[in-house]
Amino acid sequence: MMTPFSRLDFTRYYDLLYSDKNYPAECDLVEDVFKSFASQRPATILDAGCGSGGHAIHLAQRGYDIVGLDRSPSLLQIARKRSDEAGLRTQFHEGDLRTFELGRQFDACISMFAVMGFQLKNSDVQQALRQIRKHLTPGAIFLFDVWHGSAVLLHGVEKRLKLLEKDGLRLYRFATPTLDPMSHTNEVNQHLLVIDIENNKMLDEVVEPQLIRYFFPQEVIFHLEIAGFEVCKLFTFGKLDQDASAQDWEIGIVARACA
């Protein structure tokens, strides 16, 4: 299994593929978490697994000093370009969540869009959480989301088609999943077809398999506590006031760095 988002022919369509993602609303959620659980408004934020900078740029525009970290050079290139075009000075660093070293601490950390799901082994999860904790001040808030194992097994997985159009391009994404309950993973084969709308001509065809881990609540709590966090809340992602349930495919977790 190749490292996710490492192929240039896939990452060049990343922003088109997720152009329907509501980054401003998710950044509203981030700020609601800060208001509810932080002792004061964080000044500095680490975006661990920042991708093409969707959250980082919106939060920087809201006045936060935010640093993005990702292991995909091509996604970071997109993030830096977007930041420059927005007139921002946001820093983006290449690094693996399990081993990164930035030489500073932050008031908060976000790790959005199921980033933790790419940590496939228990040792990977622990290494990533410990590195994040190392880069946080005591009392700092950590917000992330995961696929929820109860909902994955309850509802099952199915083939999906996604259609998006932007900037004269039409993208078809065919997602074919293969569930492995014993390893808590779902392998998703992503098949992209990109069409030039004006000329009705296919421009590109890309296939990328991605292996994503799902988690169960007590599993998440255990890993966080071992890594030096206390858990504040598990919620239906996007609805901070709604406690997580077995029906929720995606759950959000708020934790606090222990002293």
126 and 187 belong to one structural domain: no
pLDDT tens-digit profile of 125-141? Answer: 999 999 999 999 999 99
142 and 204 belong to one structural domain: no
> Which structural domain range is residue 171 located in?
152-213
pLDDT tens-digit profile of 177-188? Answer: 999 999 999 999
Do the bridges between strand 136-148 and strand 250-257 make them parallel or antiparallel, or are there none, so unpaired?
antiparallel
User: What Cα–Cα distance (Å) separates residue 48 from each residue in 138, 145, 152, 160?
Assistant: 18, 12, 24, 28
Asked if 254 contacts 243 with a C-beta cutoff of 8 angstroms, the reply is no
Q: What is the pTM of this model?
A: 0.97
pLDDT tens-digit profile of 145-163? Answer: 999 999 999 999 999 999 9
Residue with tokens 């990164």: 100
- The encoded tokens of residue 36 equal 């509810």
Helix, strand, coil in percent for the chain, rounding step 5:
30, 40, 30
How many separate domains does the chain show? Answer: 2
19 and 139 belong to one structural domain: yes
Strand extents, DSSP E, the chain? 44-48, 65-70, 91-94, 106-111, 136-148, 160-166, 169-180, 185-196, 201-215, 229-236, 239-243, 250-257
- The encoded tokens of residue 194 equal 């990109």
123 and 43 belong to one structural domain: yes
